Amino acid sequence: MKEHIRGQAYVVGDSIDTDQIIPAIHLVYSMTVPEERQFYGRYALSGLPEASQGLPHGSTPFTPGDAFKSPYSFIIAGGNFGCGSSREHAPFALQEAGAEVVIAESYARIFYRNAVDGGFVIPFETRVRLIDEIKTGDVLSLTTGTGILKNETSGTEYLLEPLGDIAEILKCGNVFEYARQAGMMTQR
């Protein structure tokens, strides 16, 4: 886990489900073959409703055109992010697209655990309704150890909820590496 992360924000709404994060039609690619896994990045957040429904991201795609990487490092969400099915493909797709952090008011438990266990993205929580204060394209910087988020575009700072026990897992890379380093698993 990086100590400092800087990048652009991509703002979504409440109850973004796993089929919006990575639509089931795109689950045909291997997660281990590099030539195929990159498609998870291309199709990350491609299931979001159109801008006509008034969502914070407007009509801006998360990953533009035929690109495999997104210009957005941060996803700013409302409540219940990652609800729906239990697929680990959802946080994996966000990582493949280049997202490093999701900041939400709350998470579906299975998305949160998949994000942490796989070390895919850092799931910070906030008590502030950031989707009403941050806009897609704003430049953000985050100090992960303190949870201080700064919107460099507006100059506003926010204090996110502490990561708690998951910080050690994320520092190790994923839950399996954490277990190895903590002596919970024998090396093979």
Q: Hey, which residues does 125 pair with through a beta bridge?
A: 104
Residue with tokens 């502030």: 128
Distance CA 121, CA 94 (A): 7
Distance CA 42, CA 186 (A): 37
What is the rounded end-to-end Cα distance, in angstroms, of the chain? 25
**How much is the pLDDT for 134?**
97
CA gap 152, 155 in Å, rounded:
5
- Secondary-structure percent of the chain, ordered helix, strand, coil, rounded to 5: 30, 20, 50
Per-residue pLDDT of the chain (188 residues; tens, 9 = 90+): 999 999 999 999 999 999 999 999 999 999 999 999 999 999 999 999 865 445 666 678 999 989 999 999 999 999 999 999 878 999 999 999 999 999 999 999 999 999 999 999 999 999 999 999 999 999 999 999 999 999 999 999 999 999 999 999 999 999 999 999 988 887 66
Name every residue whose Cβ is closer than 8 Å to that of residue 40 and which is 6 or more positions away in sequence.
Answer: 22, 26, 29, 31, 89, 92, 93, 96, 97
In order of start, what are the domains of the chain with their CATH numbers? 4-161 (3.20.19.10)
CA distance 52 to 87: 28
- Classify residue 28 as left (phi > 0), alpha (psi -120 to 50) or beta: alpha
